Structure formats: structure tokens, C-alpha cells
A and B are shown apart, each in its own frame.
Chain A
């Protein structure tokens, strides 16, 4: 692990995030990190999911539909979705001060908006549907991992949805548009663009961009991310089917985007 880190740092010094057509972790440009999904991992929550994306480890829980508090915030026509994205203080190299900061407030907002188009909120007027995402370990792409986890947890909770939401980021490193940046790539890359998508209808429900891209690179990155969302969708779906088709109370689904992965 340490040796790997040192090697990575050396490559970063030389500004070589790509060598011989491969990335530092051995992936190709259009390759996802390994993904692992476990459904129904918490006993108290109405729905839950543990999601790994490379070295990202996140857990999502869903409570509700339940009565919305405070009452003045109720919507007489539909349920209110609450989404809280929170990083554990130990999830990053330099301890993160606990509690919401500006970044997590923004991530929570855009993540909530990524789900509002699919959750059938009109079935539950005056109710609240609460989604809690905890980042246990972070290595770039936590908001996308959080959305993927939340999506499965919402389905696990039996919340009526038009479809699952799947999410991934694309970015630019060494002038190349690549899929799913890891931490090192994100720190030294030129752009990062997370998206979330409803796979069945190809509807984009989250789109952010940070950094520098030409319009052509943007278009290409968007296509790449949309394709990867479809892959992730299949994994989410498979994990849910496995959970509810067997008599097991918990289930696992693993798929390596990278054979050298963990």
C-alpha cells in the first residue's frame, strides 16, 4: 500500500497520470473502478445499502415515508425528500471537522434533486422520505457512490420510484477524458464532472462540472458517463434482484471493473 502510494506520488511529480495508455491504477480510460453492492445491511432503517467504488466506502439508509416535521415544511401535495450527505471525520487524510460544511450542503442539495424526478412523491402528501448517506472512506467520487447507494436503499425500502438512479463522474487527466477519477487523479486532474442518470429513459438528473473542458470534451465526457451509468444500473438491479429472490436476509453482489482490484 505504502509502496503503491510512493510510486503514485513519483508519477504525479513527473505529471504522468497516464503511462502507456494506462492509468496509475492500471485502468483503461473508459474503465470503472471495482464496484461492490450489499443490500439491506442495516436493521433499523426501512432500506439500506453498502456501496464500494474502488476505495470509496459508503453506506446509505432510508427512513419513511413518515410524517414530515416540522409541520410547516410539509407539502400538501407530495412527500418532501430529505437528503443528507455526510463525511465521517476519518474518511479523509486530514480529519474532517464533523458536521455539515458548505460542500456537503451543496452535495446534499444536488443529490436530493437527482432523486426528485424519480421518487413518486405524489403518493405520500405531507410525508417525509429521509435519505442518509455516510461516507466512511473517501477516494474521489463519493457523491456518485452515495447516490448509487441511496438509489438501492430507496428501492430496498420499497419507496415507489419510476426507476433507479445511477451516478458516475468523468474527468480529464493529462489532457485525456477518462471515466471515474480516483483520488490521485482528481487532485491532479484538470476537470471533474459528476452526473446522475435514470438509465431507462436516459434522463440526466444531476450534472456538475468543475475544472476546464472544451465543448467537444464535454460532449464526449457526457456520453462516456451515460454509458457507465447504464453499467452501474445493471449492477444495482442485479444486487436488488439477488436480495429479493433468495430467502437470505442479506446478500452480496460483486463485480470487478478491474481484475487487479481489491
Chain B
């Protein structure tokens, strides 16, 4: 109960600040917190990345496996995205089966990777209809400082760019189309051809601001995550929260999302 009262006080405090044109941590409305991306942090994984956005800390591991393709896409590899909001990351996270927030997080990240066709899945086919590479993207939240979606999505694409296909370990030939790889290699790069970047904006007191921290997330009625590609086109979107948006607000959020995604891509991918 005590925590709830504190939450409410913070909510009001943050909302009042925003109404007067300020943010809790002194940022501008169109300003991200400090971002850091560290690749190759998990050595047992085929690819990994640890992303920090302000206090938020997310570790993404990519593992590859060999398995059967889906019947309707016999010549394509498979992507499986999963997110765990482990209890060490926040007093609000509990252990147990995934709840809607972690399901949504995984599905939004997955949507961006899929919608942008970031992975050339046809090159992950080993034997049509029988064997393909399965790419597991596992998102592990270590500390929830807010805006986990953007951190997880950046972690996912960074880990994919860092991932290698361990074909030698499976006794398989190098995937097709890998002309540039030298002889004697045991692994080859994952075929990545697009870099989707997610940018979340929040609406608080009628104002739009980017990259909400955890208190701003609690104060926000509505958030919109916009996932965009290098050419500025869109590959996924998700509104969340119990508020509504006007058309011009949506357009403003989309425009801001594309602009910020470009900056993040330039600096970190």
C-alpha cells in the first residue's frame, strides 16, 4: 500500500513537471537518455548485446538451432523471440509464467525484426521443408528504468548483427551466398539486411516526449512505439496504455520516432 501512495505522488510530480515544460531528469522532450551498446557479452550465445538506456539495462542473447521449418514457409528459417521480466529487475516483476507485459515486449520486438525483414530468412534454409536454422532471440531484462521496448529492440538487432551461424559445430556446410567468407571458417555471419530501431514516445498531460523513464511511464496515459528502417519506412507499431491519441499526435509521434531512430542507428548500429 505504501508503495502505491508513493507511486501516486511521483505520478503527480512528474505530470506537473511535464505540464510546465520540464522533465524529472532535466532532459528535453525530444531527448533520449544516454545509450550504451556492448556487443558479444555472452560467450555461450551465438550473438549477444547489452544495452543500457539511462537506468534500463537489457541483455539480449541470440542462440541458433537446427530444426524443421513452418509448413507454410518450407524454405525459410524461423525466428523465435522471447522476453523475461525477471524479478531482479523491478519490485513489480514476479516470477512465473510470462504475463502480458513481457508477452507484448517480445512480440513488439519480434514484429520489428519480422516487418523489416531484417534477417534474410531464405538464406537460413538448409534443406527445403526439412531443416532450417532457428534463430532464438532471448531478451533478459536486468534493470527496469523505463522504456524497455526500445532497449530490447536495440539489443535484439545489435545481438543479431553480432551473431554467427555455427555451421561447423552442426557438421553443416556454410550457408549459401556466403562468398566472401574465407576457407576454413567454422561460422559465418547471420544474413542481416536491415536495422529496425524502435522509438517509444509517451503522452503526459497532453505533451509528447520521447524515451520515458520509469516514473514518466507510470504518469503517461499512452505510449506509442514506432519501429522504423534505415530508409525511414515503418516496420511496426504498438500503442499501449489506457489513454487515447489524436491523429495529429500520432503523426507527431511517428515523425519523432523516425527522426530519433535515425540518430540511434547512426551512433550504435
Contact = CB atoms under 8 A, between A and B. Distances in A.
Interface of A: 102-103, 105-106, 108-110, 113, 116-117, 191, 193, 198, 201-215, 218-219, 222-223, 226
A106 B234 contact: no
A154 B229 CA distance: 40
A222 B247 contact: yes
Given A109-B104, A110-B104, A213-B233, 6 more contacts: A110-B239, A113-B240, A208-B237, A208-B239, A209-B236, A212-B116
A198 to B, nearest CB: 6
A204 B242 CA distance: 11
Nearest to B227: A209
A208 B104 CA distance: 12
Contacts of A208: 237-239
Nearest to A191: B115
B109 to A, nearest CB: 12
Nearest to A101: B103
B6 to A, nearest CB: 15
30 contacts: A102-B106, A105-B104, A110-B104, A110-B238, A110-B240, A113-B239, A113-B240, A113-B242, A116-B243, A117-B221, A203-B244, A204-B239, A205-B239, A205-B245, A207-B224, A207-B238, A208-B237, A209-B234, A209-B238, A211-B235, A212-B115, A212-B116, A212-B233, A212-B235, A214-B233, A215-B255, A218-B234, A219-B254, A222-B250, A223-B247
Q: Chain B's interface: helix, strand, loop or mixed, by majority?
A: mixed
Interface in B68-114: 98, 100, 103-104, 106-107, 111, 114
Nearest to B81: A102
Given A102-B103, A106-B103, A207-B245, A214 B234 contact: yes
B246 interface: yes
A109 B100 CA distance: 7
A24 to B, nearest CB: 19
B241 interface: yes
A80 B232 CA distance: 39
Contacts of B236: 209-211
A142 to B, nearest CB: 16
Interface residues of B, number: 35
Interface string B245-262: 111001100110010000
Contacts of B241: 113
A125 to B, nearest CB: 14
Given A215-B258, A218-B254, A207 B239 contact: yes
Contact of B100 (A108, A116, A198): A108
Of B237, B246, B254, the most chain A CB neighbours within 10 A belong to B237
A117 B244 contact: yes
Contact of B250 (A191, A198, A207): A207
A218 B251 CA distance: 9
A83 to B, nearest CB: 10
A210 B110 CA distance: 10
Contacts of A205: 239, 243-245
A193 B103 CA distance: 19
A87 to B, nearest CB: 16
B244 A204 contact: yes
